[in-house]
Every structure is written in C-alpha cells, then in structure tokens.
Structure 1
C-alpha cells in the first residue's frame, strides 16, 4: 500500500510546486499570456487535487465491485476505510466552501449593482455622484450588461487625456471578461491552499493586461502611466463599492504597473522563449493530470488484482499485502 499512499501524497503536494512554476512563468510573459497561464494552471491543478481525492474515496467501492466485502477490505487493508472517509470529508468541505464562495460572489455583485443605482450615464459608462475617487469595471448581472463605473470625484481629479486612459483600462476589463478569470481562480483557491498565491498573481497580471490595452488605445505609454499613478494617488476606496472587490485601475501594486508602462511594450515570446514557456506550463499541468490519472488507474488495478488473488487464494492464506508484493515486487509494505 506504500506505493498508493506515496502517489496520493505526491498528487496532493504537487500543486505547491505547480503554482510556483506558474507564477514564475507568468512574470516573463506579456500580461495577456500571463493571465491565461495562471488561470489554466489553477484550474488544472485544482482538478488534479479533486481527482486524487475521488480516486482515494472510491477504494472501498471498487473493492465491492470485485466481490470483496467491506469487512474483508478492512481486515486486509485497515487504512482503506479511514483514508476513504478522510477523502470524502475533504471533498465535502471543498464543496461547501465552493458553494459558499460562489454565493458570496453573487451576493456581493448584487450589492455592488445596488450601490450604483443612483448613477447616470450613456452607453457603457456610468457616473455616480459623490466625492469618493474611484473607477472600476462592474460585470454584468441578471441581464444587465457590464458597465464602467466612475465616481464624480474621479472625473474631477483627472485631466481629459487621463480620463480617456482610465475608461480604456476599465473597458479592457469588460471586453476581456477578466471577472470570469478572476472568479475561476478565486474558486480554485478553496480547493487547495497552494492556489491562493495564484489569485494574487492573477489580479496583478489582469491589471497589467488592462494597462497595456489602455496604452495602446490612447497611443501614449507615458500618459497611461501618469493617469494610473494620478488615479491611484487620488483614490481612497481601493476598488471596492458595496463590499465587492472590483477590477479597478487603482488596485494592485501601482508602482510596478507604472514602471512597466514606462518601458517598451512587452512583445509576445518568440522562438526558444515561447517553446520554453509552453514546455514549462505544459509540463506543470500535464504532470498534475497524469498524476491524478495514474492514481485513479493504479487504485483500480490494485483492487482488481488483489481481489483476484484473495478470491482465488483464500485457502492458501494469501493477503492483500502479498498480492501487492506480487504485482509490484517485494517490499511494498
């Protein structure tokens, strides 16, 4: 059983290394690529974790399919039922946390829309009265399309060119549907604690993606940098309205974003750099997927083989341990 336990541990521990690789790779990629790398890694690593737990949870069930009674399974492998119970408990907790987090997203989004009911505007722009200085992208909700929300205080704090940058930034969030990427990674963070770091990484790269789009629309990286800096200095609410964490031009590590805008626009990786980046990401997620598949397949084959050995050798005193020794070689236990 040592082999199975080692495989389970490796599958559950792997997201720590996978998340670190994804974060590192994202730092050397353009913002758009970085966002997709972080999001894909988070979803696939979370999927690998859930698959490992499902495989472990099904061991007693697989044994019953092979005509092994639960009492016999407990006799030959005492850890089978406790391990399955632990996996089931973890999955139940994950499910509760996922549902709870999803409901929080919906509730906070509803509150955000209620908080901007007094706003006025045309098209996708909504200006809300008040002296607060803020601007953010508000995702669509219940048939309402997404809006760029700007406070009157923010409008007064920026020059005309800077307002153009701000609006382009928030429109980039809406056009790219960045809230979906953000929500996906936020939900994976309740599946495995290692993925919480990807949530912060994604938030930064989403803002960088919108910064680059705004700079391209306005045609001046320097003006875009000045607008982001001025908006952040003037802002006081840090991208929050009605308690909802929003995609805002004033959020994230603003000094790093401004510094990046003062440099030449990042180019898509080419040649060797692209191949190396793709290989690193592919290796990370494929290893997680293969680990989960190997665990599920290994558990099934293990139970099936052990069942045949036990059913055919009851009189000879064979055990599940000897069956495993026969399958994998001596010293398994």
Structure 2
C-alpha cells in the first residue's frame, strides 16, 4: 500500500495544533460543529486505515489462507504489498486497543446519560429550575427528558435579579442546543484516537462560549454577561464545597473538575471583545484536511482491494 495510507494517521496532529486557534477565532457555534465533525471524520479515517493495514498483515500468514480454503495466496500478498509485516501487526494492536477503549468509553457515556436523565427526573418539583439549599455557589444543567437546571442558594445570593436571568439563559442554552452530546461525541473520538484530545478539550470550551453568546443574545448586553460569568466564578471560588455534581452536567462555571472552574478569563475577554465573525481561511483549511483524510482513506481502500484481487488471482493459478 502506498504512502497515502499513512496520511490519515498524521492529519490528527494538524487538527490538534489548529484546535485551540479555531476555538478562539471562529464563532463558538461554528467552532463546536466544525471540531466535532472533524474529530469524528479523523477518528473514523485513522481507524479505517489501521484496519486496512492490519488486514495486509493478516493475509501474509499461510495458515490463515489455508483456513480460508486457499482463497488467497499469502506469498502473492507479501510480494505486492509494500507495507511490512511489522507495520501490519502494529496497526492491528493499535486498532484493538482503540476499539476496546472506544467501546468502554461508549458504554460509560451511555450509562452517564441514563444516570443524568434519571437524576433529572428525580429532582423535586415539576419546573425546569430546581433550587437546592447549598452555601456553595453552583449552577448547572442536567440533560434529560426534560432537562433540569440546578442552582444553589449560594449562587442565587451571590447574583442580583438581572444576573439570575443571565445565569438561566446560559443554562437553557446548554439544554436547548444539546451541548453535552457534542462533548460526548468528541470525547469518544478522542478515546479512539488520543491525538484528538486537544479537539475534545477545545469543544468543552466552545460549548461554554456558545452558551455565553446565547445568553448575550437573550439579554442584549455582552458586557453584563461577561460581568456575570466572572462574578459567578469568583463566588464559586470563595465558597467551593465538595458537592456531588453529575458527570453529564454543564454549567456557567465550565466543565467541573478538581483543577477549578475552567478558562473563565478567556470567556470573559471574548465577551468584552466584539462578536467573532466567520473566517473563510481557517474554515477552508480544516475542511481541506478532512477532505484529504477522506480521499487518502478511500485511496488506501482501493489499494487494498487491488491487493486482495492479486492475492486471489495468485491462489487460483496455483
């Protein structure tokens, strides 16, 4: 198989380098969609290439050809395939590890969504908004049918009435635009191909920026939204408690982690700056990478098909 087969394994590196600049320079809704689609396409292309390389390694073994009743010639396959046996075996090992990790991650994501839906259904009251008695400043949305918005009394006390509206507009945007699905899909792709981890990290940021911009549209004051985001983060930092928060939750403080509330200063700075516009050049660049990865994977599939035909033809003339 020719050199093009290896390119889909390298393109994720380019996407990883471009992920954060794209997340900072493109409108957050566009950046979220673009990076999510890019992660899926690049993960699929690299997995397909690993599978095809693994097949070229397997068909070299005479024992497998005999078990398949001599449907192909292992000698012909070895003669015509430029990829070495070690490359095929390494690709098979990597693909097995990636498939196992992706399967485990998918199972955990499904369990997380089910648990989130159950948690949302069990929260008290029929309303979308649920207020919990907790001095720690917390606010987050839980996906479900329907989704719920949980806000602590500590957060309500830290913000004024107008800031409450901004908070709720932010959390409603998370539910309305199904932001958790974007995060889950891109994290699953990054599990299948760890080189895509920067895309997953950037999407966790762009969904928060998307919700910030949605709140700014509802309220009509970007500066006020920036002030509220910063004020909520400071309140949470002062009164952070060990409160249990569902894994599926998304909130105005960003993805919850032990490291803190997330890149809030970048979000505040983005809200204080003019709204971002579409940039044709970076958009065209990432689309070109996706197209090239798809074409290379298709070319590799064609080469593999020709190799298998030669191996079958060799077997028929023995």
TM value normalised by structure 1: 0.79
Task: Determine the structure 2 residue equivalent to 1:24.
Answer: 21
Question: For residues 96-115 of structure 1, what are the alpha-carbon distances to aligned partners after superposition, in whole Å with 9 as ceiling and x for unaligned?
Answer: 21222223334445555677
Residues 73-108 of structure 1, C-alpha deviation per residue, up to 9 Å, x if partnerless?
A: 568879766544433332222222122222333444
1:259 and 1:84 map into 2 onto residues whose CA distance is: 48
- Cross-structure match for 1:95: 99
Who is 1:250 aligned against?
Answer: 253
Q: Does 1:50 align with 2:47?
A: yes
Separation (CA, whole Å) in 2 of partners of 1:286 and 1:120 = 49
Extract unaligned runs of 5+ from structure 1.
Answer: 315-333
User: Does residue 1:163 correspond to 2:164, yes or no?
Assistant: yes
- Is 1:266 the counterpart of 2:276? The answer is yes
Matched, 1:15 2:12: yes
Shift of 1:70: 4.0
Please show how residues 136-147 of structure 1 align to structure 2 within 5 Å: 136-140=140-144, 144-147=145-148
Deviation of 1:310 (Å)? 7.9
> Which secondary structure does the structure 1 equivalent of 2:191 belong to?
coil
How far did 1:46 drift?
0.4
Q: Aligned-pair distance for 1:300?
A: 1.9
Gaps of 5+ in 2: 255-261
Q: Distance in 2 between matches of 1:139 and 1:72?
A: 55
Aligned residues of 1:19 and 1:194 also touching (Cα < 8 A): yes
User: What CA distance in whole angstroms lies between the structure 2 residues aligned with 1:188 and 1:235?
Assistant: 31
1:139-218 equivalence runs, <5 A: 139-140=143-144, 144-218=145-219
C-alpha contact 2:173 2:215 (8 A) present in aligned 1: yes
Moved more, 236-245 or 294-303: 236-245
Distance, in Å, in 2 between the alignment partners of 1:307 and 1:198 is 42
Mapped to 1, the partners of 2:136 and 2:118 lie a distance apart of 17
1:190 to partner: Cα distance: 1.0
Look up the SS of the partner of 1:291 in the other structure: helix
Distance 2:93 2:313 in 1: 30
Counterparts of residues 307-318 of structure 1 (less than 5 Å): 308=313
**Residues 200-259 of structure 1: CA deviation (Å, up to 9, x unaligned):** 111111111100110111121121111111111111459973462631111231111111
User: Conserved in 2, the CA contact under 8 Å of 1:158 and 1:231?
Assistant: yes
Q: Which residue of 2 aligns with 1:323?
A: none
- What is residue 303 of structure 2 aligned with on the other side? 298
CA-to-aligned-CA distance 1:103-157 (integer Å, 9 cap, x gap): 33344455556777885455311122222211111111xxx32111111211111
Aligned 8 A contact 1:132 1:151 in 2: yes
Instruction: Supply the RMSD in Å over aligned alpha carbons.
Output: 3.1
Pick one of 277, 284, 303 that aligns with 2:289: 284
Structure 1 CA distance, aligned partners of 2:123 and 2:314?
A: 73
Q: Distance in 1 between matches of 2:45 and 2:233?
A: 39
